[in-house]
Structure 1
């Protein structure tokens, strides 16, 4: 099956011929690695590091987390496995993907807008997706109405939505995605189909997309899992700060300082409900008071001791 290039973010110039050569050459693969039996037993093949295919996928991932950044230096790519679509059902899904890609291309004037997108999840969920396809039950999918993937240059976002397994490894899927003509979707949208037949997928921002959104009705025809990248990361806490040194941590949201505290609380009430937010505020106020009381007691005790 012909392959499309991993996008321009890779630190080398590629065209269709180059990636096709890379994926069709007789790359050495290892399908019997005990460390990754959970992948090899479902038909994935491990790419050997000297191969061009391994080099291209690795370069794409590293570029997506900031090639020369401190973060990139701390993340170790342990293995890359390829989905060869060896079973009949997976071969059928791959063939179906090609049929839909052609149909979308015909509708869009010859361009199906094929891209690569990252999807981070738990190892078990990734295995389920490779074997059976996406489901609205997938915990990392976002919601039951759509599947969200990160563009090639935002691989870091998929790492944040992944989960460490018992060996401390995280796994992300690199998928081919049929995007066609896109429409902008608002956050937490419950839309599960295009607003018009002219649209094929959703996006959070047309000019600078951070999310590719594929509706549930298209999730197993417009997304094709191609590779699984297994990585070892530094100890991760909630959010990107877990990867960074203390002196490099800074807010990374485009909404930084864009809303007031009152607006934030009102928005939280809309999402979580008034009672839940009130309970959280009360809990933090109580902890703050306990902390103040404890500090005061220690101060008084110290003063008494000094006398």
Structure 2
């Protein structure tokens, strides 16, 4: 998914440049600061029942790739410094997990077996993660900037992670922190921009969304925030417009048979074993960070999957596109 809105990119860029204007560091000093801050976070998060994932683990590669494909072109300005899995091993963590399970079952019973469980991103701060994992989600009130959509806790859909990055606070080390959560939506209703709604409009609904057809923003009402949201991972991300995106390439669509990388990876994930998909996602993440060129990415994917599989994937995608473009035949009743 590509982010075409220049407003989003400009907003992050202005924030980062404002922070960097008062301080300049050599690359060695910056490296030392990053290492120190991540180590400090590691000690803090370990006490909260979080386990840091190794960068070579398939789980780490998958989560990093999921974030980058969600934020699109902003990936070239981002680097994932650390990913932590929530083990729910602390007393509050175990209570949170048990509450989520109970309310998942209750929502399924209330909504004819469909609890409508989705993934969601929540931007916060390092202290926010500490408070959430220790005491649960609190009441933040209406947002100071942006347009409110109800008096509740906001999360963003799996394909709208850029919003969670925008809403996260930059700490003294220049890191942003986001949570990847499972969310019980139940039966959702559309909450219009500017709404001051503070709960479901009727017993028929459980949560709010910004758009019923293609929701990107979820509103979980405050009575439900600690029973309908389960934090699974915490991610520490750095946004830097000074050192990223040094490579530039044409965005012109290839004239030969082609398939978007996101669609290609979806097709390949049904064919290739996890170990090979881990490599494919790693190379694609490097490409989105502008560490390698498109040509290098294609070469690496060919090496991993082989040309036969790639040709088959492209043909399958092209056939599906052709079928979806053709209108269904209409039959008249005689």
| TM-score, normalisation: structure 1 | 0.62
Contact 2:182 2:229 in 1 (8 A): yes
The structure with the largest alpha-carbon Rg is 1
Q: Give the root-mean-square deviation of aligned CA atoms.
A: 2.7
- Structure 1 window deviating more from structure 2 (145-154 vs 118-127): it is 118-127
Per the alignment, in what secondary structure is the counterpart of residue 165 of structure 1? coil
- Distance of 2:101 and 2:149 partners within structure 1: 26
Determine which of 75, 80, 88 is the counterpart of 1:85: 88
- Distance of 2:167 and 2:218 partners within structure 1: 15
Deviation at 1:137, TM superposition (A): 3.4
Contact 1:192 1:217 in 2 (8 A): no
Give the match for residue 104 of structure 2: 101
Q: Name the CA shift for 1:94/1:139 in 2 (closer, same or farther; >3 Å).
A: farther
Contact 2:142 2:151 in 1 (8 A): no
Q: Name the CA shift for 1:190/1:138 in 2 (closer, same or farther; >3 Å).
A: closer
- Distance of 2:245 and 2:172 partners within structure 1: 23
Give the match for residue 134 of structure 1: 137
Q: Unpaired runs of 5+ in structure 1? A: 1-8, 10-31, 237-242, 246-307
Per the alignment, in what secondary structure is the counterpart of residue 191 of structure 1? coil
Deviation at 1:197, TM superposition (A): 1.5
State yes or no: 1:115 paired with 2:118. yes
Deviation at 1:33, TM superposition (A): 4.3
Deviation at 1:139, TM superposition (A): 8.3
Contact 1:148 1:213 in 2 (8 A): yes
Per the alignment, in what secondary structure is the counterpart of residue 117 of structure 1? strand
State yes or no: 1:199 paired with 2:208. no
Q: Name the CA shift for 1:207/1:197 in 2 (closer, same or farther; >3 Å).
A: same
Contact 2:85 2:233 in 1 (8 A): yes
Contact 1:120 1:162 in 2 (8 A): yes
Q: Name the CA shift for 1:201/1:98 in 2 (closer, same or farther; >3 Å).
A: same
Deviation at 1:35, TM superposition (A): 5.1
CA deviations over 1:243-262 (Å, ceiling 9, x no partner): 999xxxxxxxxxxxxxxxxx
Give the match for residue 230 of structure 1: 236
Deviation at 1:233, TM superposition (A): 0.6
Determine which of 30, 42, 46 is the counterpart of 1:40: 46
- Distance of 2:197 and 2:40 partners within structure 1: 43
Per the alignment, in what secondary structure is the counterpart of residue 159 of structure 2? helix
CA deviations over 1:3-43 (Å, ceiling 9, x no partner): xxxxxx8xxxxxxxxxxxxxxxxxxxxxx944532222222
Contact 1:119 1:174 in 2 (8 A): yes
Give the match for residue 213 of structure 1: 219
Higher RCO, 1 vs 2 (CA within 8 Å, ≥6 residues apart): 2
Give the match for residue 172 of structure 2: 166
Contact 2:52 2:84 in 1 (8 A): yes
- Distance of 2:202 and 2:214 partners within structure 1: 22
Q: Unpaired runs of 5+ in structure 2? A: 2-37, 247-334
Deviation at 1:89, TM superposition (A): 2.1
Q: Name the CA shift for 1:184/1:47 in 2 (closer, same or farther; >3 Å).
A: same
